Amino acid sequence: MSEAFRAEARAWLEANFPPSLAFKNPVPYQNDAPYAEGDPDWIVWRDRMAEKGWGAPGWPKMYGGGELDHEQTKILTQEMRRIGAFNPMKMTGYTMLGPTLLEFGTEEQKAQHLPGVAKGVTRWCQGFSEPGAGSDLASLQTKCVDMGDHYLVEGQKIWTSGANHADWCFALVRTDTSSKQGGISFLLIDMKSEGVETRPITLISGSTHFCEMFLNAVKVPKENLVGEINKGWGIAKRLLQFERDSLSEGRGEGVPLLPLAQERVGTDAEGRIADSDLRTRLVAHAMRAQAYNLTMGRIAAEGKAGQRNDALVPVLKNLGSDVAQVRADLIMEILGEQGLGWSGEGYSDVELDASHQWLHARAFSIYGGSFEIQNNIAAKVLLGLPSAPAPGR
């Protein structure tokens, strides 16, 4: 049964995935709408996947999904990875908002928002972090006042990925100042609303997908509240689990290391990578990457058997970011000075991608809750270690 699906998926992918996208770094496609939509092959790929329902493989068909079961979804992922394909819908809306709305949204909210996400035509951004509330997310201050027939939102967000290209934003807003976590609500904001202003922040990688977002007396219809007023923190925590989940998977993408090293570094008489120090570190990385992928597979199999343990997610996120960062370092090392290009003449796509990816990779251990925050969460929730006393006590 699953082998039949594998054959079906393989045949369909081979017939429909544009080879020009193979082993491309999916990050710019996910975060930069003009970049993605400027690539005609990406548009073709997105639309074919949308029609097939495989961009949101596990979702109900009525919301544009494929209604695949867990096993089939896993097989689809494996088959995509085999040919270097990526899911064009795997953006913020799909990985974070989608599962959250499926769990907490009203029928109207699901019907309004999910199909656009499953088809890859609506882009979402996440309005969580604020200048004073990064790792300490619950200290956020963006004000939301009940005006009777609508809400009025006033404040500033930061590190908002893709806000400058987003159609919608799911935001955490403060509806009660008397309680830190109990005064937060979860709101869907149309980015075309009057008073929404975004400003890109240029990063060391040259990418501009992070933005500042200013909310100046923005009117939001009341039906855009998800869940109950002041109950947004619980929804946010669940959403952050989905985020860590998505951030801890799919680290295998990108150009395969071994053939690249054999080509660029050369091999000795016995066929071994000529630089023995580099070879040693490449092998150590390959082993950790395999152990990590086996772990993701094991956790998924256990989850399917009803032994899901969400408390592991922060640990997995950190392991995944470490593996991916080491990988980015190693590619740079394999390429040598050809990995130092920023743009233009003299450098291949693979080489330019490597330098930008290397710079971008530092974000893996910062976004979605920093490495340290994940460790704090795991120490408390997974290991049951005591909290540190509050400062000044």
Question: Which stretches of the chain bind other proteins, using CB under 8 A?
Answer: 258, 261, 271-273, 279-280, 282-284, 286-288, 290-292, 294-295, 297-298, 301-302, 304-305, 307, 312, 314-316, 318-319, 372, 374-376, 378-379, 382-389
At 36, which amino acid appears? A
Q: Least separation, in Å, of the C-beta of 87 and other proteins?
A: 24
Question: Which of these, 186, 47, 166, lies nearest to 103 by C-alpha position?
Answer: 186
Cβ at position 361, least distance to other proteins in Å: 18
Interior angle at CA 55, CA 53 and CA 60, nearest 5: 50
Q: Which two tokens stand for residue 325?
A: 């960062």
CB of 365 to other proteins, least distance (A): 12
Spatial neighbors of 189 by CB under 8 A, at least 6 apart, are 127, 153, 168, 169, 170, 171, 196, 215, 218, 220, 224
Nearer to other proteins, 210 or 292 (CB): 292
Cα–Cα distance for residue pair 61/80, rounded to 1 Å: 21
Task: State the amino acid at position 75 in one-letter form.
Answer: I
Backbone angles phi, psi at 154, to 5 degrees: -145, 120
| Torsion on CA atoms 294, 298, 299, 303, rounded to nearest 10 | 150
What are 257's strand-pairing partners? none
Pick between residue 170 and residue 292 the one whose CB is nearest to other proteins. Answer: 292
Nearer to other proteins, 31 or 318 (CB): 318
Tokens 């027939």 sit at which residue? Answer: 149
Q: Least Å distance between CB 283 and other proteins?
A: 4
In terms of CB distance, is 344 or 384 closer to other proteins? 384
* Structure-token pair, residue 189: 């904001």
* Nearer to other proteins (CB atom), residue 16 or residue 376: 376
SS3 content of the chain, % helix, strand, coil (to 5): 55, 15, 35
Q: How many helices (H) and strands (E) does the chain have?
A: 14, 8
Which residues are CB-contacts of 226 (< 8 A; sequence separation ≥ 6)? 100, 101, 104, 105, 109, 170, 186, 187, 188, 232, 235
Nearer to other proteins, 230 or 262 (CB): 262
Q: Cβ 259 to other proteins, closest distance in Å?
A: 9
Catalytic positions are 243
Determine phi and psi for 88, rounding to 5 degrees: -70, -15
- CB of residue 1 to other proteins, shortest distance in Å: 18
- In this structure, what DSSP letter does residue 178 have? S
